[in-house]
Amino acid sequence: MELPFAESYKIKMVETIKKSTREEREQWIKEAKYNLFNLKSEQVFIDLLTDSGTGAMSDKQWSAMMLGDESYAGASSYYKLKDKIKELLGFEYFLPTHQGRAAENVLFSALIKEGDIVPGNSHFDTTKGHIEFRKAKAIDCTIDEAFDTEIDHPFKGNVDLQKLEKTIQKYTPERIPLIVLTVTCNSSGGQPVSIENMKAIRKVADKYNIPVYYDSARFAENAYFIKIREKGYENKTIKEIVKEMFSYADGMTMSSKKDAIVNMGGFIGLKSQDVFKKATVFNIIFEGYITYGGMSGRDMNALAQGLDEGTEFDYLETRINQVAYLGQRLTGFGVPVQKPYGGHAIFVDAKKFLPNLPKEEFLAQTLAVELYLEAGIRGVEIGALLADRDPETRENRYPALELLRLAIPRRVYTNNHMDVIAVALKNVFDRRDQIKKGLKIIDEAPIMRHFTVELDRV
Ligand code: F0G
């Protein structure tokens, strides 16, 4: 008999989590104005709000923290991280930042100006926010297959090369300071980009002399999918694939809170000394001096170790298998989810789940609230709330997909938790006909409204 699958680690420290009653949750979600960001963490039993900064560090990461060098300038922790980035990712220059959006802020300050165009594959919301904040425009060139949750395409994060080239020709290369490729693509469901596509994007970019930067938060999960799904890569190690991926990029921004399995941190990796010099000025203003830029020495040590562990096959197999396990259980119950299953999360198709609710009533948010009420599980809306208003017309933007994202923290929950999540969502699915009304906005911020929006039942 073939041995069943088991995690590639054992547990050394635990944290208690508490269940609650439905009455308590009714009260709490009302007080939170139907915005799950406003809940206190102790009001949540299983927290799938994000996989960002919520992972469990390893014994080796914790021990590396004790060796942190907190010198203001020239800390050994900085050099340790610099060497690890060079070794694993191939970038000569690097700037530490406190998290991913800070890396975007610093890099885009150096590269983007008003009126610019930034093509890419479904830019993440902070990326888009930093582009639009500079009065530039993000253009989504993702392949059409990504917007149908039922199509089983192996690389739904891919860029449609025709869309990309048309965008470049329409706006002219002079207006395009960079192309941003998000690996894996969070907004289209944690979907990977193939090496073939990365190579092709590089070719188009070279033709028009435009640099390519990777938004790399989940680069290792992307490499895992390449190994599993792309011909010719089955015998390569994750680290070899990662190296090849970044060989097609001019630079990268990183939210280390994802695939580097730390609770806080980010960085920029660069090949160009010129861009490094420009970005350094902004890093010093916004983040901190070059050799710490928003991070403490101990955190840089944990990050260097996390990069190494996060690019090991056994760890990634455990991780991606757990996400797929949840996906399979939900599919078994008939719950409509994005296929293939994403790397860091399962995305529930709220339009298919609640087909009778109008889009103006925020379907995915309504579903998120229902799942919380059912079992104290906190997911997050990736739909019209997140899509925000058009910066020019101020009209609501309604994206092609209304998704409820169930992001799985790294090395945190067991498959028993996955079972609870699956059954809770099945229970909501079974009573979906009784969900007749959605939510309406009471108050919202001018940009990135989903974090602070206040809602009420329609
Ligand atoms: N890029 C991607 C693809 C992301 O998913 C995120 C964050 C960022 C950039 C920004 O990084 O949070 O460190 O500033 N995503 C989190 C999420 C918040 O829940 O998906 P950050």
> What's the pLDDT score for residue 189?
86
Q: Assess contact for 150 and 337: CB atoms under 8 A.
A: no
CA angle 396, 401, 407 (to 5 degrees): 110
Q: Is 308 a catalytic residue?
A: no
Q: What is the DSSP string of 286-317?
A: HT-STTTTT--HHHHHHHHHHHHHHT-HHHHH
* Residue ranges matching CATH 3.40.640.10 in the chain: 59-310
Q: Which of 217, 220, 302, 345 is catalytic?
A: 217
Q: Which of 355, 366, 387, 346 is nearest to 51 (CA)?
A: 346
> What's the pLDDT score for residue 448?
83
Could you report the per-residue pLDDT of 240-277, keeping only the tens digit for each? 999 999 999 999 999 999 999 999 999 999 999 999 99
CATH architecture entry for 59-310: 3-Layer(aba) Sandwich (3.40)
Q: What's the rounded Cα separation, in Å, for the pair 215 and 157?
A: 12
Q: Is 125 a catalytic residue?
A: yes
Check pLDDT > 90 for residue 188: no
Distance 427 CA to ligand 1 centre (A): 30
Mean pLDDT value across the chain: 97
Q: Assess contact for 174 and 116: CB atoms under 8 A.
A: no
Q: Is 261 helix (H, G, I), strand (E, B) or coil?
A: coil
> What's the pLDDT score for residue 401?
86
Cis omega (within 30 of 0) for bond into 366: no
> What's the pLDDT score for residue 429?
98
Give φ, ψ of 259 to 5 degrees: -75, -10
> What's the pLDDT score for residue 187?
82
- Closest residue by Cα to atom 9, ligand 1, is 100
Q: Is 231 helix (H, G, I), strand (E, B) or coil?
A: coil
Could you report the per-residue pLDDT of 81-114, keeping only the tens digit for each? 999 999 999 999 999 999 999 999 999 999 999 9
Q: How far is CA 245 from the centre of its chain?
A: 18
Q: Is 19 a catalytic residue?
A: no
Distance 20 CA to ligand 1 centre (A): 29
Q: Assess contact for 5 and 321: CB atoms under 8 A.
A: yes
Q: What's the rounded Cα separation, in Å, for the pair 396 and 344?
A: 28
Q: Name the token pair of 215.
A: 């938004």
CA atoms within 13 A on the CB side of 397: 18
Check pLDDT > 90 for residue 391: no
Distance 240 CA to ligand 1 centre (A): 25
Distance 453 CA to ligand 1 centre (A): 19
Distance 321 CA to ligand 1 centre (A): 22
Could you tell which of 98, 184, 255 is best to mutate to test the pocket of ligand 1, judged by most ligand atoms within 8 Å of the CB? 255
CATH number of 22-51+313-457, picked from 3.30.470.20, 3.40.50.300, 3.30.70.120, 3.90.1150.10: 3.90.1150.10
- List all residues 6 or more positions away from 300 whose beta carbon is below 8 Å from its beta carbon: 68, 75, 77, 78, 80, 81, 96, 265, 292
Q: Is 165 helix (H, G, I), strand (E, B) or coil?
A: helix
* Residue ranges matching CATH 3.90.1150.10 in the chain: 22-51+313-457
Q: What's the rounded Cα separation, in Å, for the pair 420 and 413?
A: 11
Report CA torsion sign: 441, 443, 444, 450.
negative
Lowest mean pLDDT among 61-75, 359-373, 442-456: 442-456
Amino acid at 302: A
Ligand 1 atom showing the smallest separation from residue 50 Cα:
19
Q: What is the DSSP string of 127-143?
A: HHHHHHHTT-EEEE-B-
Q: Structure pTM?
A: 0.96
Range 149-171 average pLDDT: 96
Q: What's the rounded Cα separation, in Å, for the pair 86 and 347?
A: 34
Check pLDDT > 90 for residue 392: no
List pocket residues of ligand 1, CB cut-off 6 Å: 50, 52, 99-101, 124, 126-127, 182, 186, 215, 217, 255, 257, 266
Q: Which of 140, 215, 259, 299 is catalytic?
A: 215
Q: Assess contact for 151 and 157: CB atoms under 8 A.
A: no
Q: Which of 142, 311, 145 is nearest to 222 (CA)?
A: 311
Could you report the per-residue pLDDT of 33-52, keeping only the tens digit for each? 999 999 999 999 999 999 99
Q: Which helix (H) or strand (E) holds 269?
A: strand 266-270
Q: Which of 365, 352, 358 is nearest to 450 (CA)?
A: 365
Q: Which of 125, 140, 160, 259 is catalytic?
A: 125
Ligand 1 atom showing the smallest separation from residue 407 Cα:
19
The CA-to-CA distance between both ends of the chain, in Å, stands at 55
> What's the pLDDT score for residue 149?
87
Check pLDDT > 90 for residue 400: no
Distance 48 CA to ligand 1 centre (A): 14
- Closest residue by Cα to atom 18, ligand 1, is 52
Ligand 1 atom showing the smallest separation from residue 266 Cα:
13
Q: What's the rounded Cα separation, in Å, for the pair 4 and 180?
A: 40
Check pLDDT > 90 for residue 138: yes
Report CA torsion sign: 224, 229, 232, 234.
positive
Q: What's the rounded Cα separation, in Å, for the pair 145 and 164?
A: 15
Q: Is 93 a catalytic residue?
A: no
Q: Name the token pair of 448.
A: 């990135």
Q: Is 450 a catalytic residue?
A: yes
Q: How does residue 325 score in pLDDT terms, banded at 50, 70 and 90? A: very high
